[in-house]
Amino acid sequence: MKKMIGCIIFLFCAGVARAEGLTLRECYALTLKRSEAIAIQGELIKETEGLMLQSLSTALPKVAFAYSQKWQDARPNDTFGGSTPEAKFTFSQPLFTGFKEFAAISASKHLGKQRAQELKRAKELLFTDVSDAFYLYLSYQQDLEVLETTHKALEERVAELVKRQTIGKSRPSEVASAQSKLLKNEATTEGVRSQRETAGQLMEFLIGQTFDHLIEEDAARADMKPEDLYMKADGRADVVAARESVMAYKNNVTAARSTFLPSVTLGGNIYAKRGDAFEGNDWDTTLTVNVPLFSGLSDVGQLQQAKSQAIEADLRLSQMRRKALLEVRQAYTSWQSVIRRVDALAKALEASDKNYALQVDDFQKSLVNNLDVLQALEDLQSSRRDWVSAKAEAHRAYSTLKVSVGEID
C-alpha cells in the first residue's frame, strides 16, 4: 500500500514537472545533454588526449622481458646438450632525436586546446539554434493569444450588431461584414496554430522531451558598446582554436626538421639465464648513434609539407579574426535596428489601442459606422501581431549578438 501511494505521488510530481513551462536557459541545458554533436566533440577531446599519451611514450624508456630457447647440434662438454636458453630484461631509452618527441607532445597539447575551444564554440552555436526555435515557438504562442483576443472582440461585435439589426439600427451587411472578419480570423488562427505545432516539434527534437509551454524572459536591452564588442571578438572560441592550430602546425615543422638531425639511443639487457658460451655475463648495454645521410628526398618533402600547413593555418587564423569581427558588427547592427523597430511598434500599438477604444465609443454615439470600428480592430490586431513578432526577433538578435561575441550567460 505504501509503495502504491509512493508511486502515485511520484507520478503526480512528474506530471506537475512536465506541465511547468521552460525558460530559454532550461531548454539550452536540456539540449546540451541531448545533442549528439556535442557528445562527438567531447569524444574528439578524449581522442586528442590519447594522441598526447602516444607522443609522450616515444620519449619514455621501453622495458620488456624476453625469453628464447635455441636448439642446435650438441658440442662436447655442452652443459645444455645442444639447447641454449636465454631469459632477459631489455630496455631502450632515446637520448636525442632532434627534439621530435617534444615537438610532437607540444603539438598534441595545442591540438587538445584547439578541440576544447571547438567544443566551446559548438555549444555557443547550438545556443543560437535553441534560441531561434525557442522564440519562434514563443512568437506563435503569443500570436495565438492575440488572435484569440481579437476573436472575442469580433464575437462581441457580431452579437452587438445582431441586436442593433433587430431594432433597425444596423444593416444586414454590417452583420455579414463582421461575421466575415470573424471567420477570416478563425482561419488565420488555425494556420498559426499549425505553425506553432511545427515549431514545438523542433523544440522537442532539440531538448529531447515534451513540454507544456515556454516562458519569456526579460527583454534583451543590455547596454553594449560597439568598441567593447569588437575587442572581444579576438577572444572568441573559434579564433582561439585557430590560434592553437597554428601552434600545433609550427610544432609539426620542428618535428619534420628533426629528421635531418642525428639520433642517439641507449639500450641494454639484464640476463636472468644465458647459454654456457656467455655464462657469467649478466648484463650489457649499447649506445647507438644514427646520422641520416640520404632518404630519397622524403624528409625534404615532409618538411616542405609541414611548412605549407603552418602557413595555411596562419592564413586561416587571419581569416577567422576578420570573419569574427564582421559577424559581431553585423549582429550588433541587426540588434540595434530591431530594438528601434520594437520601440516604434510599441508606440503604434498604443495608438491603435487608443483609436479602437475611441471608435467603439463613437459607434455607441452613432458618430461612425461599423466599418470604421472593424477597421480599427483590424489595425489593432495587426499592430499587436507585428509587435509580438518584432519582440521575438529582438530576442533572437540579442542571442545572435552574444554568440557572435562568444559570450553565453
Q: Which residue has the higher pLDDT, 46 or 190?
A: 190
Q: Is residue 149 part of a domain?
A: yes
Residues 6+ apart with CB under 8 A from 407: 232
- From CA 191, how far away is CA 188, in angstroms rounded? 5
| Alpha-carbon separation of residue 48 from 101, 105, 361 (angstroms) | 16, 11, 73
User: What pLDDT is recorded for position 16?
Assistant: 38
100-166 and 172-207 are packed helices; what angle lies between their axes, rounded to 10 degrees?
160
Is position 162 within any domain?
A: yes
- For the stretch 207-260, pLDDT in tens is 989 988 888 876 555 566 676 777 777 888 999 999 999 999 898 898 888 888
Mean pLDDT score of the chain? 82
pLDDT attached to residue 11: 36
CATH code for the domain in which residue 159 is found: 1.20.1600.10
Question: Would residue 383 count as lying in a domain?
Answer: yes
Q: Evaluate whether residue 305 is within a structural domain.
A: yes
pLDDT at 294: 75
Nearest CA to 99 among 246, 264, 245, 267?
264
Triad 63, 109, 314: Cα angle to 5°: 135
* 147: Cα within 13 Å, side-chain hemisphere: 19
Q: 4-47, pLDDT tens digit by residue? A: 334 433 333 444 334 468 889 999 999 988 888 788 877 777 77
Domain, as residue range, for 169:
21-60+98-260+297-405
Mean pLDDT of 366-395: 89
Q: What is the mean pLDDT of residues 346-353?
A: 94
Name the strand (E) or helix (H) holding 399. Answer: helix 370-405
Question: Residue 93 falls within a domain, yes or no?
Answer: no
Give the count of domains, the chain.
1
- Is 173 a member of any domain? yes
Residue 18 confidence (pLDDT): 42
Examine the pLDDT at 262 and tell me if it is beyond 70: yes
Does the structure show a pLDDT above 60 at 3? no
Classify residue 14: in a domain, yes or no: no
- Looking at per-residue pLDDT, the higher value among 113 and 222 belongs to 113
pLDDT at position 344 over 90 = yes
Taking only the tens place, the pLDDT of each residue in 63-99 is 888 887 777 666 566 555 566 777 778 878 777 676 7
Q: Give residue-wise pLDDT tens across range 269-283.
A: 888 877 666 666 788
pLDDT band at residue 368 using 50, 70 and 90 as cut-offs = confident
Q: Pick the residue with more confidence: 191 or 44?
A: 191
Residue 81 located in a structural domain:
no
CA-based R_g, the chain, Å: 38
Percent of the chain whose pLDDT exceeds 70: 85
